[in-house]
Chains A and B, each alone.
Chain A
């Protein structure tokens, strides 16, 4: 007998909504009414209920945990499976309690589509709005809205229509177009898997029909190549000398022989092979595949790099304008350093500007808030410690969204709406000091009679500072390491006597008083003013003076 081929399609859907609006009951119904549960599961839960003296509810099927049953609220985004004739579903039941928003985010981020529940009696509540907003940020574009507990409002069309009008308006503000509004009663199972004779005024699909009507997410294959480097392996044992650049193709595709560019460095190489263990060898590999490649030319590549083709590179940036949500107990504050993880890159990030903080529950925005608190959504600018490869989220999902780590835990996440490269911020410390001072470091070594040399040195220091240059006279005999440190700090160092720097880390102007060899040769009795003019001229020719 040959194995049945796994042709069934799978879809991840999430069920969200305000606490007590009936998510667990709906999921329990979906499991029971599609005949998906293992034999004995319903009976087992019913027996537990009897023992605990509780009335059985469909929600209990999910509430397998002691802690949960005690509190009567769903704690985590449970993953359960059910199937229809069309395909298999992994259904993520996300908690509606605001305390567990991080679990809702965890669940929803994995989903391809969402069913959002609103209680027909209670109407649109805080988390109905917050969840709607988060779905949009998480990139969930397919949303079905279920107006639940219709049985408790006597299946009243007016109640349904009012909620539809209010919530549709809210979703429009945040750019979400729901696919469907469906009146349901999870407790009785009406409009879940079967229609209802009490909802004759509604002629749209049931929940199951609506869910089967959702489309799979478009493939990422036609987008430009984005292959973040996860790791580089060279095992070097058991006869394996391959150097493999490993990662997942997040978008586009890659073929043997392709020229590829590594970002942010911009280094180029060519794909020599696509590697795999115990699998047929392939010439091309597409989006979503975890793979590894070898290169024709060995270049230094490391985790955090993003590989692209030359004609469609990502940006290289260190300033990101982002929309982020915050879940951490401690607020996110301006100026504090956080770890940002974007694709496989990790970089220190700070908020340099808070443009808008949004209370996601009612879309009240505040522009004068100086911090981002738990459950807030904010529009901020982040400064990164070094440039990374990045895209706008709308151009490339995987390289356009990030999480923020605070104190060991992921505390927030967001999407990139704009980016730029701040050249000064991107430069090395030495380059940045140069930019700050307006001149680079230089060493002026004045050899000759000690007293005369010192006088000229002091005069030169005064002149240079007067011209806006940072200059400093060291004592004769100052140690070469002190001079080197001052030069590294970007100063123009004036050293009377023999400086004895073997390999000075900056241009050197050698001044010889009373003859000998040097860049500037002066008489021993030259006036300080004349000496200064000559030396300043030489420094200017080395481009070492501040430009005004």
Chain B
């Protein structure tokens, strides 16, 4: 059996453990390729169902096609969709011109933390209308499934499949419990939550191989749509650059990836702002 099959089986196992142990469970869906693969894995794990809400943090600066794609898939697959946003910061005029790290911190880190712990607004999609109305449910999520991969950045390679966080989102890297033999941290103290990483062992190539194998309907921003450019990684419009590429299908992207040595997030401005920017964002709870 292929490595891809092993990765799928492990991801499915992790999803089922998470669902069994966490009553207040959600999954972060950034609309990007990784978390869309994650969403597909959830449907694998639960035989076509997704029995927990998906949380998307809308910075208001996202590429517009991302929002349209999100809502289309949510309607088609009957997903429980929750959208969070730092309205206060946006009303205050927050944007990338104030500094990328400042902007990311306010619109991603803070928005995410407040959406997860229930202190910020949660907009819930109504079916079948697709309208968003403010959710009255504000229970803090105690289990948060995210699509982080160990090969993305140095800091991510230190993660566990089940990684405890303080409610502030703090991550004590030096003092994580052991994880062995597929036994995970499923017991947690009040006031803490657990980040769950079903894709931890996947590489960027694995993601594309799986998209290809499963025919996952990934957003087409990843493909060259005739201009000789495509996105390799998705984020906010002002801070995400496209790369030169003529890859129009997952198969062509896989070939391209096998021949590149440029880091995946090279197009993402916030990584360059500070040698440890990612690490800081991550400690603060940014996915």
| Chain B residues whose C-beta falls within 8 Å of the C-beta of A411 in the assembled complex | 177
Complex-state Cα separation, A290 to B181, whole angstroms:
15
- Are B209's CB and A40's CB within 8 A? no
Q: Which chain A residue lies CB-closest to B216? A: A278
A246 at the binding interface (Cβ < 8 Å)? yes
Contact with B263, one of A1, A38, A75, A279 (Cβ below 8 angstroms): A38
Shortest beta-carbon distance from B175 to chain A in Å:
9
B212 at the binding interface (Cβ < 8 Å)? yes
Looking at A3, A51, A235, the one whose CB has the most chain B CB atoms below 10 A away is A3
Extra contacts besides A9-B3, A277-B44, A290-B12 (20): CB < 8 Å: A40-B263, A64-B153, A64-B155, A65-B155, A66-B279, A67-B173, A75-B174, A109-B180, A235-B51, A240-B48, A244-B47, A276-B44, A277-B43, A288-B6, A290-B8, A327-B178, A339-B187, A403-B180, A405-B187, A410-B185
The segment out of A77-85, A315-323, A517-525 that lies at the interface is: A77-85
Shortest beta-carbon distance from A44 to chain B in Å:
8
- Docked complex: B209-243 residues within 8 A CB-CB of A: 209, 212, 214
Interface residues on A, range: 35 or more
Contact with B158, one of A75, A105, A279 (Cβ below 8 angstroms): A75
- Are A290's CB and B276's CB within 8 A? no
- Docked complex: B36-53 residues within 8 A CB-CB of A: 43-49, 51
- Interchain Cβ contacts under 8 Å between A and B, 10 examples: A2-B251, A38-B261, A38-B262, A39-B261, A64-B153, A90-B201, A109-B179, A231-B19, A403-B183, A411-B177
- Are A79's CB and B201's CB within 8 A? yes
A48 at the binding interface (Cβ < 8 Å)? yes
Complex-state Cα separation, A238 to B48, whole angstroms:
10
A292 at the binding interface (Cβ < 8 Å)? yes
Which residues of B are in contact with A by a Cβ distance under 8 Å?
1-6, 8-10, 12-13, 16-17, 19-20, 43-49, 51, 78, 150-151, 153-155, 157-158, 160, 173-174, 176-181, 183, 185, 187-189, 200-201, 203, 205-206, 209, 212, 214, 249-252, 254-255, 258, 261-263, 275-276, 279
- Docked complex: A1-24 residues within 8 A CB-CB of B: 1-4, 6-10
Shortest beta-carbon distance from B33 to chain A in Å:
15
| Chain A residues whose C-beta falls within 8 Å of the C-beta of B51 in the assembled complex | 235
Q: Which chain A residue lies CB-closest to B46? A: A233
Complex-state Cα separation, A1 to B178, whole angstroms:
44
A284 at the binding interface (Cβ < 8 Å)? no
Complex-state Cα separation, A103 to B158, whole angstroms:
10
Contact with B4, one of A6, A75, A76, A238 (Cβ below 8 angstroms): A6
Complex-state Cα separation, A2 to B263, whole angstroms:
24
**Nearest 4 Cβ contacts at the A-B interface:** A64-B154, A109-B180, A3-B251, A39-B261
- Are B43's CB and A278's CB within 8 A? yes
| Chain B residues whose C-beta falls within 8 Å of the C-beta of A79 in the assembled complex | 150-151, 157, 200-201
- Are A409's CB and B20's CB within 8 A? no
Shortest beta-carbon distance from B86 to chain A in Å:
26
* With known contacts A6-B4, A66-B279, A78–B209 Cβ distance under 8 A: no
Contact with B178, one of A78, A240, A401, A410 (Cβ below 8 angstroms): A410
* With known contacts A6-B209, A38-B262, A64–B47 Cβ distance under 8 A: no
Shortest beta-carbon distance from B193 to chain A in Å:
12
| Chain B residues whose C-beta falls within 8 Å of the C-beta of A248 in the assembled complex | 9, 13
Complex-state Cα separation, A103 to B160, whole angstroms:
10
- Are B177's CB and A102's CB within 8 A? yes
| Chain A residues whose C-beta falls within 8 Å of the C-beta of B49 in the assembled complex | 235, 237-238, 240
| Chain A residues whose C-beta falls within 8 Å of the C-beta of B201 in the assembled complex | 79, 90
Contact with A409, one of B2, B157, B177, B262 (Cβ below 8 angstroms): B177
- Docked complex: A71-110 residues within 8 A CB-CB of B: 75-76, 78-81, 88, 90, 102-103, 105-106, 109-110
- Are B158's CB and A76's CB within 8 A? yes
Shortest beta-carbon distance from B124 to chain A in Å:
18
Contact with A106, one of B160, B173, B275 (Cβ below 8 angstroms): B160
Complex-state Cα separation, A292 to B279, whole angstroms:
39
Shortest beta-carbon distance from A169 to chain B in Å:
28
Contact with B188, one of A67, A75, A288, A408 (Cβ below 8 angstroms): A408
- Are A292's CB and B47's CB within 8 A? yes
| Chain B residues whose C-beta falls within 8 Å of the C-beta of A44 in the assembled complex | 275
Q: Which chain A residue lies CB-closest to B150? A: A79
Shortest beta-carbon distance from A254 to chain B in Å:
14
- Are A413's CB and B251's CB within 8 A? no
- Are A80's CB and B178's CB within 8 A? no
| Chain B residues whose C-beta falls within 8 Å of the C-beta of A242 in the assembled complex | 47
Complex-state Cα separation, A235 to B181, whole angstroms:
29
| Chain A residues whose C-beta falls within 8 Å of the C-beta of B4 in the assembled complex | 6
A187 at the binding interface (Cβ < 8 Å)? no
* With known contacts A39-B262, A90-B201, A288-B6, A65–B176 Cβ distance under 8 A: no
- Are B157's CB and A64's CB within 8 A? yes
| Chain B residues whose C-beta falls within 8 Å of the C-beta of A433 in the assembled complex | none
| Chain B residues whose C-beta falls within 8 Å of the C-beta of A276 in the assembled complex | 44, 47
Complex-state Cα separation, A248 to B44, whole angstroms:
13
Complex-state Cα separation, A429 to B15, whole angstroms:
37
Shortest beta-carbon distance from A446 to chain B in Å:
54
- Are A413's CB and B178's CB within 8 A? yes
| Chain A residues whose C-beta falls within 8 Å of the C-beta of B5 in the assembled complex | 289
| Chain A residues whose C-beta falls within 8 Å of the C-beta of B249 in the assembled complex | 1
Q: Which chain B residue lies CB-closest to A105? A: B178
- Are A65's CB and B9's CB within 8 A? no
| Chain B residues whose C-beta falls within 8 Å of the C-beta of A405 in the assembled complex | 187
| Chain A residues whose C-beta falls within 8 Å of the C-beta of B20 in the assembled complex | 230-231, 303
A341 at the binding interface (Cβ < 8 Å)? yes
Contact with B along A46-77 (1 / 0, CB 8 A): 00100100000000001111110000000110
| Chain A residues whose C-beta falls within 8 Å of the C-beta of B200 in the assembled complex | 79
* With known contacts A38-B263, A65-B173, A79-B201, A230–B13 Cβ distance under 8 A: yes
Complex-state Cα separation, A62 to B43, whole angstroms:
35
- Are B181's CB and A403's CB within 8 A? yes
A41 at the binding interface (Cβ < 8 Å)? yes
Contact with A138, one of B43, B180, B254 (Cβ below 8 angstroms): B180
A488 at the binding interface (Cβ < 8 Å)? no
| Chain A residues whose C-beta falls within 8 Å of the C-beta of B17 in the assembled complex | 230
Q: Which chain A residue lies CB-closest to B252? A: A1
